[in-house]
Amino acid sequence: MVKYYWIFGGIAGLSSVALEYLLFSGYLGYEHTYGVVLGKFLSMLVCLVFCVILIKKLKGRISFLRTSFTGLMLALICSAISGIGYSWMYAPNGEFFQPTKDHVLEGWKKENANKPDELMKIDEVKTKINERFSLKNHTYFDLAGYLVCGLFFSALLAAFVADRSSLTG
């Protein structure tokens, strides 16, 4: 079963990296951020469904615990691959994200154009934007998001496909 975790977790992780690359390179346009986040978690969900169905077909049955464990493993593998891809884009100094940071800063300036007090805080805002695009922030967000998504949807999926006679195995 371990190889299926790696296969489907890898597919979800690579699709996450591809969507982030397309977003941050400007190819999709910066206004599609929420669509990219939704696409990342949707790919995780689709891979989870296919992995659970495959395991059930191979073993003949699947328990609630195995389904939940599958969600956990896919979330961890997907998060690790996504983090590796983000660090690859971030290397060596995060210059890849500079156009995105500039876009976010310009949007903030337009939003606060009539507020001179807020415009005085531009250095503070630049620091917050740099923190937002840090490797640490990305890793925390992805790990937490994938874990919640993986565990929640695997538990929900277990209600439909898990063997009701056993809670183990």
Q: Summarize pLDDT for 69-94 with one digit per residue, the tens.
A: 999 999 999 999 998 998 888 878 77
Count how many domains the chain has: 2
Looking at the fold, whether 6 and 79 belong to one and the same domain comes out as: yes
Looking at the fold, whether 114 and 54 belong to one and the same domain comes out as: no
Looking at the fold, whether 18 and 88 belong to one and the same domain comes out as: yes
pTM of the prediction? 0.83
Does a structural domain hold residue 169? Answer: no
pLDDT of residue 167: 54
Confidence of residue 17 (pLDDT cuts 50, 70, 90): very high
Looking at the fold, whether 38 and 100 belong to one and the same domain comes out as: no
Confidence of residue 42 (pLDDT cuts 50, 70, 90): very high
What number is the average pLDDT over the span 142-166? 84
Looking at the fold, whether 8 and 51 belong to one and the same domain comes out as: yes
- Average pLDDT of the chain is 85
| Alpha-carbon gap, residue 142 to 147, rounded angstroms | 8
Looking at the fold, whether 63 and 13 belong to one and the same domain comes out as: yes
Residue 5 has pLDDT above 80, yes or no: yes
Does a structural domain hold residue 167? Answer: no
Looking at the fold, whether 144 and 117 belong to one and the same domain comes out as: no
pLDDT of residue 13: 93
Confidence of residue 138 (pLDDT cuts 50, 70, 90): confident
Q: Is the four-CA dihedral 160, 163, 166, 169 of positive or negative sign?
A: negative
Looking at the fold, whether 113 and 86 belong to one and the same domain comes out as: no
Confidence of residue 24 (pLDDT cuts 50, 70, 90): confident
pLDDT of residue 14: 95
Does a structural domain hold residue 166? Answer: no
Range of lowest pLDDT (9-13, 118-122, 135-139) = 118-122
CA neighbours within 13 Å on the CB side: how many for 58?
A: 10
Give the structural domain span for 41: 2-93+134-161
Looking at the fold, whether 114 and 148 belong to one and the same domain comes out as: no
